[in-house]
Chains A and B, each alone.
Chain A
Amino acid sequence: MTTAIPESSYSVDVVERSANRMVLSMGPQHPSTHGVLQIITEIEGEIVTKASPEIGYLHTGIEKSAENLFWSQASTVIERMDYLSPLTNALCYYLAVEKLLGIDAQIPPRAQQVRVLLCELSRIASHCVWLGTGGIDLGALTGFFYCFDLRERILDLFEASGGARMHPNYIRVGGLGRDLPSGFLEKLDGVIAMYEPRMRDVRRLLQKNPILQDRMIDVGIISADDALAWSLTGPTLRATGIPYDVRRAFPYSGYEEYEFDVPTRTEGDAYARFLVRLDEMDEAMRIVRQVRKKLDTPGAWQIADTKFAPPPKETIALSMEALIHHFKLVSESFRVPPGDVYQPVEGPRGELGYYVVSNGDNRPWRVRTRPPSMYNLQVLKKIAIGELIADMVVMIGSLDPVFGEVDR
């Protein structure tokens, strides 16, 4: 008996309905899919026999919008792609643009340090959201409150520096939007001091929790071969034993000056990914401490060349050149010489890459994103076969997809 699935917003080929097999849509609105993911699962009792994730429910046409905005405006939409670490998106895009412009060597050291600081802080904040919501999937509600409170302190730093909690638009071409405000470093010291005890509590709460261990050990095992074949990167790849980290392989924005190590495990199951991300948060804080020491010395926070970076506001009313540069940048932005470049960055979910093409105009010709979440999520098709539905929930949480990035 074959049941024809009606053609609707998703199309599934006709599913052979054997005696006790049932098609279940773990649909776009589901408490444990971490966003708008639909998985058409064919189940036999509680065992998943075929899982085909359907994405596109958050497709925002960001790459098309970016093609119709100026080079400096495009980061507005690009930051809204991976909304758990927007600054990493902005940094990756601007590094690519600066490479095309050929000014990537002139970025002042303080700007690079602040960029590294903000990206490591957003890595911690992003892992806090993963740990919180992942814990809720397994019933650990207290972890959610602990992690979101730590994230709240980090968002205060983004709000103090960039002006907004999530999409501060603080990283710009040639450096930063403005210098760090006064009082920022004291707040940063507060966060650094608070991190250690808070993470010790979270680890004591979750790491050796027998329930979490039973639910995560030997669930969603990925071998190193599969990880490479399915193009997994980030904590998902490092949990299978391969220590590929873009910050170490292709250092950018001054990462070679900081020493941190790349945590890896070998089991490749959900618990290994859990431990890798926890260790990664500690490494990120280690970098933040090293950058903190460098931030005491003031310095230029933007390249001096005002053809790309708008001149300071107060000089506009004083000098004609500043006014002209300001007006030109605001009204029609700068032109980027024709060419294409691929710039990778180590995002919280893996290698986030931008393949930016310019044809010499003042708008990007093409901004192709390499979305780590999409490739990490795709492996669900393979590892969910033969597992319980409850384990598939744990797998989704351990792959940490962000659907703004998956669907772009």
Chain B
Amino acid sequence: MPSSQTPPAGATALDPTAVRPDIADVVRIIRVVPAALRATLEELKGEGFSMLLDVGGADYPGREPARFDVVYHLLRIERTATTLAQVGAPDRVRVLCAVGESDPVLPTVTDLWPSADWAEREVYDLFGVRFDGHPDLRRIQMPDDWQGYPLRKDYPLRGPALERTPRPSFALKSNVAAGTPASGKTAAALQRQIAQARGNNSFMPGSGPAAAAQSGSQPGGTVSGGAATPGQLAQQPVNLKTEDNKS
């Protein structure tokens, strides 16, 4: 899991879709209010967007006007396209519809494109956005008696039940004592790599012996004698033991 000392995210945008860089992934981005959603989609279907690629959800808790985003991706393919030239690079449109948390209800589009059936059920199941007019709106991924909507940001990752039970404490890995590399070979192997890298280190112009190399010998921490690498490395043996203890 990510280390806990990650600094809190500084300039995190509340509404990433508003500050997006101009990437040429869609021809048009339309943001609509729930009232105008149905009309926009019908008009797009009239324009020839015969395929509803995907209906997805997103949750922006802090965002002011409306918390949830339902994202529709549409693709314009003629039904009669039989050659690659006719298909070409079909236009793709993204329709974003923000809906509030108070009454998250949107009109269904299963009558325009039947493929929306399961997609809308999944947005309902994982976000709690209801689609009125949907023929069979019930949970699709989670068991039917599941509480809560998992993909909301305030839903704990490990789920309400698991969150209370502490993580199982795994057996202590007693076989690897702190500080000693698993086997002498690893220290020697890294030595050889460094020697080889130093030998042709065009990569690091003029960098002296890296700070990582510790001079002086640690009592008992002798690097395995066998790694007698020629050249200046011998005078400053890289003593891995001290490094391991420190970090």
- Spell out A's residues near B (CB within 8 Å): 7, 9-11, 55-56, 59, 61, 63-65, 67-70, 73, 99-100, 102, 224-225, 228-231, 241-245, 248-250, 261-262, 264, 312-315, 317-320, 323, 331-333, 335, 337-343, 351, 353, 355, 357-363, 365-366, 368, 370, 374-375, 378, 382, 407-408
Contacts and interface: CB of A to CB of B under 8 A. Distances in A.
11 contacts: A56-B141, A231-B51, A244-B87, A245-B84, A317-B190, A318-B201, A319-B207, A338-B16, A339-B19, A341-B20, A342-B73
B81 A242 contact: yes
Interface residues of B, number: 75
B246 interface: no
Contact of A244 (B10, B56, B77, B140): B77
A235 to B, nearest CB: 15
Nearest to B81: A242
A281 B53 CA distance: 25
Given A224-B79, A231-B52, A318 B2 contact: no
B89 A249 contact: yes
Given A231-B52, A355-B71, A317 B151 contact: no
Contact of A64 (B21, B50, B150, B238): B150
B138 A100 contact: no
A343 B89 CA distance: 14
Nearest to A70: B2
Contacts of A10: 144
A7 B144 contact: yes
A355 B9 contact: no
B197 interface: yes
Contacts of A370: 53-54, 56, 73
B115 interface: yes
A-B pairs with lowest CB-CB distance, top 4: A339-B20, A231-B115, A338-B13, A361-B9
Interface of B: 1-3, 5-7, 9-14, 16-17, 19-21, 23, 25-26, 50-54, 56-59, 71, 73, 77, 79, 81-84, 87-90, 92, 94, 113-115, 117-119, 138-144, 150-151, 155, 157, 190, 193-194, 196-198, 201, 203-204, 207, 210-213, 238
A55 B141 contact: yes
B197 A64 contact: no
A325 B142 CA distance: 41
